[in-house]
Structure 1
Amino acid sequence: MAVISKATVRIAAAVALAAIAGCSAATQGGPPQSTSKGRVAPAKVPATRPVRLIGDGSTAYTGAQPHQPRPARLKPGRKPPQFVVFSWDGAGEDGQKLFSHFRAVGKKYHATMTYFLSGVYMLPTDKAELYEPPGHEPGASAIGFNDVRGIKDTVAQMRGAWEDGNEIGTHFNGHFCGRNGVGSWTPEEWRSEIEQAVSFVRNWKTNSGLKGEPPLPFDYAKELVGGRAPCLEGQRNLIPAAKEMGFRYDASSSGGLQTWPRKIDGIWDFPLQEIPFPGRDFETLSMDYNFLANQSGSTHGDRAMHTAWGQQMRDGILDAFDRAYQGNRAPLFVGDHFESWNGGTYMKAVEEAIKEICPRKGVRCVSFKQLSDWLDAQDPETLARLQDLPVGRAPEDGWSAYLSDTPEVAAGPAPAARIMPVAG
């Protein structure tokens, strides 16, 4: 493996530059500003499905989410699937049309993904004071808010993404990092942040005035089962609040390794992982921004280097994939932002990685929620054996021998998500 101490230094450098990264809108000086051309047509709720509106009609019950695999318990002696999760922080549809673009990419390569929505993208600027961020004045946000067109376009993509089988998680709201940021919040403050994120989704019609738009075809309070904290800070106090609010996983940890996940107080811990950095003697986190921080330290670096930087990230993801695919089969987690940093270098790298990885035999490109379903369906002894495998290490005597005497029991349905209490 690479020298972890050096990687940690690079991670710290990336966190220090978080004010540049923020989330999807942070580096653009505001929230998504939308256009109407060139996007994937939003999926509509089929007329044959029952629609029961919730509250002001922003959301609705329409039945179970389409295109969800039924998790099955791994049979004795069988090699586990190679799971890969591509996820997006601060997901929103703006003039770059990256949300709709990657929905199309997912369909093409049979990949479902997790889109972490920033709740303030459901709130127009003139309603900013409805947001009461912990430790800050009402209406404060490090990433601004949205406009009505941006809300409409983002909702359309969320609607379609869910109908496609993708997950809508949360990136919480105001993206506060560093001093007085999410790292200093108490469990009670995290609970408030989650409740507000859900409320903004459940009331986007009232807050935006878009009364005539179709509802989201799901109840966010029920569908929301996980998130990623801004700047990967604050997980310790987030976990108790997340557990109370019915979350099943958290993706906020940094510096994880490519090993099988474990739980923290009953919550699956899905960290960004240390992955190879081609041409360097250290590893970095499996996120676009961390490659950027180590390459240019700027979102507008040397144009002459864009192609090389993109190739470096693509190759790093593929090296990490191969290390798991030929080794311990641990899930690979890749985090991204809908951004055009360094000329769209990292978006191209991620798309090329999806194209190479997801069609491979034995590979399942899934959402974090779907991965949670599969893990919860497994026998604890099987999971313990998988968790014992180090990075890149396949069982010495082969999978058949290593998992030969694990129990084979039919898997039941995935655990139901609790409906969270919602403020407002």
Structure 2
Amino acid sequence: MLAARKRITFGAVVTALAVGLAGCSGAGAPGDGPAAEKGAHGAKKAPAAPKNVVRLIGDGSTAYTGAQPRLPKQLRLKPGQKPPQFVVFSWDGAGEDSQRLFSHFREVGRKYDATMTYFLSGVYLLPKEKARQYDPPQHASGSSDIGFNDTKGISDTLRQLRGAWRDGNEIGTHFNGHFCGKDGGVGTWSVDEWKSEISQAKAFVKGWKTNAGLTNEPPLPFDYDKELVGGRTPCLEGQKNMMLAGRTMGFRYDSSGVGNQVWPKKTEGLWDLPLQLVPVPGRAFETLSMDYNFMFNQSGTTKGDPAKHTYWGNQMRDGLLKAFDRAYDGNRAPLIIGNHFESWNGGTYMRAVEETIKTVCVKRDVRCVSFRQLADWLDTQDPVILEKLRGLGVGQAPKGGWAPYMTDPATLTPSVAPAGPQAKH
């Protein structure tokens, strides 16, 4: 079991709906099993990395092992071509504990041809006896609102991280101590404080062998300085300053915002890939596309009425499917879904997410991908075409069909390539 659970802070309100912003946890541990060979629907696969390429980095906690296997080759849309429907499933604070949810959803991803983003909390690779190595901004050394880990939890989490990366999934960051609110929360941090937090998150991933004494464990099979290209802030707070810091430290995207189901754009030089407002069936409002937000609006507690658990899970699943359908049949904007490895309200939200994966990831033209893969695809496209796609509203299909919309010269206005950091892919 991970050493500590985050205290859940209820509260923030966004556009007339309760958006209790995101919490975090860890999860479970079967083996790494063989990954599915096929990739995202409609995308070509790059060859697996040579197995004999291993170059240890630092103390051997990480290693260069060649290009990541099982990644799709990104192709530019052809004139008149309908864009694929992207769906991103992402997990905040990804870790492996006795619930075994990390390993479970890795299996689900392989079964349904879905790669995902796992946002690792750096302190999940730091043993509690070394807690004072973490020096969080505006807090005493050794502080963390999600605690730290023990040796078994670190070992179990490492096993899943290795397997997840080899499956083609992304290892992003949820940073470290998960501090929220006005009293030293991440929303109050300066750019330099964010740089410190990001540096420490990297350091805990790059130094777990030394910190935890797990010298016999194999390394993580990637260079984290290059692997880490994005994250999601605790409670969706502090986005602007984090982005200003992250863009100087290799970040290419951020998923800490709140938005609608429209095609994304760049902010502060990064792809802004926010959680999205999605329907809540039977209610007159929408909420964010995350388990925590459905739970907040339904029960306001992680341990609500057991008689309502099934209904609440079905409501989340059906809301996500409604959101999917209006994109799939409409503007084809990527659907962004966030979750935690938690068993809130009897695990009903985990069931909802799994049923969503089973339903949507097998459909024609659907690609269930990581944020990194989505950013790769966006960077491959003609900026003029992306601007056209951004002109479509939520659920809005092109009038007259996709072919004329994506080919008519009269509707395609040339744009100037962005300057500064935005031009760097």
Q: Please state if 1:155 is matched with 2:158.
A: yes
Matches within 5 A, 1:13-412: 14-15=20-21, 22-24=23-25, 39-41=30-32, 48-179=51-182, 180-254=184-258, 256-405=259-408
State the Cα deviation string for residues 350-384 of structure 1 (Å, max 9, x = none).
00000000000000000000000000000010000
Shift of residue 217, structure 1, vs aligned partner: 0.5
Shift of residue 49, structure 1, vs aligned partner: 2.6
**Structure 1 pair 46–330 and aligned structure 2 pair: CA distance change class (3 A):** closer
2:16 counterpart residue number: 9
State TM-score, norm by structure 1: 0.88
RMSD across aligned positions (CA) = 1.7
State the Cα deviation string for residues 97-125 of structure 1 (Å, max 9, x = none).
00000000000000000000000001000
Q: Which amino acid aligns with 1:246?
A: G
Percentage of matched positions with identical amino acids = 66
- Separation in 2, partners of 1:150, 1:46: 28
SS in 2 for 1:53: strand
Shift of residue 40, structure 1, vs aligned partner: 3.6
Shift of residue 231, structure 1, vs aligned partner: 0.0
- Separation in 2, partners of 1:395, 1:258: 15
- Separation in 2, partners of 1:41, 1:281: 43
2:44 counterpart residue number: none
- Separation in 1, partners of 2:162, 2:61: 11
- Separation in 2, partners of 1:46, 1:265: 33
Figure out how many residues of one structure are paired with residues of the other and give that number.
Answer: 385
Does the Cα contact within 8 Å between 1:77 and 1:402 map onto a contact in 2?
Answer: yes
Structure 1: unaligned runs, 5 residues or longer: 1-5, 16-20, 26-31, 408-424
2:418 counterpart residue number: none
**Structure 1 pair 217–311 and aligned structure 2 pair: CA distance change class (3 A):** same
SS in 2 for 1:88: strand
Q: Which amino acid aligns with 2:23?
A: G
Does the Cα contact within 8 Å between 1:115 and 1:168 map onto a contact in 2?
Answer: yes
State the Cα deviation string for residues 21-52 of structure 1 (Å, max 9, x = none).
63115xxxxxx6x6x6xx24267999833111
- Separation in 1, partners of 2:31, 2:65: 22
1:410 counterpart residue number: none
Shift of residue 246, structure 1, vs aligned partner: 1.1
State the Cα deviation string for residues 165-219 of structure 1 (Å, max 9, x = none).
0000000000000021000000100000000000000000100000001100001
State the Cα deviation string for residues 221-258 of structure 1 (Å, max 9, x = none).
1100000000000011111101000100000112x000
- Separation in 1, partners of 2:59, 2:194: 25
State the Cα deviation string for residues 374-415 of structure 1 (Å, max 9, x = none).
0000001000000010000000010000001579xxxxxxxx
SS in 2 for 1:244: coil
SS in 2 for 1:323: helix
Shift of residue 11, structure 1, vs aligned partner: 3.1
- Separation in 2, partners of 1:360, 1:241: 38
State TM-score, norm by structure 2: 0.88
**Structure 1 pair 62–130 and aligned structure 2 pair: CA distance change class (3 A):** same
- Separation in 2, partners of 1:87, 1:48: 28
**Structure 1 pair 405–396 and aligned structure 2 pair: CA distance change class (3 A):** closer
State the Cα deviation string for residues 282-326 of structure 1 (Å, max 9, x = none).
100000000000000000000000000000000000000000000
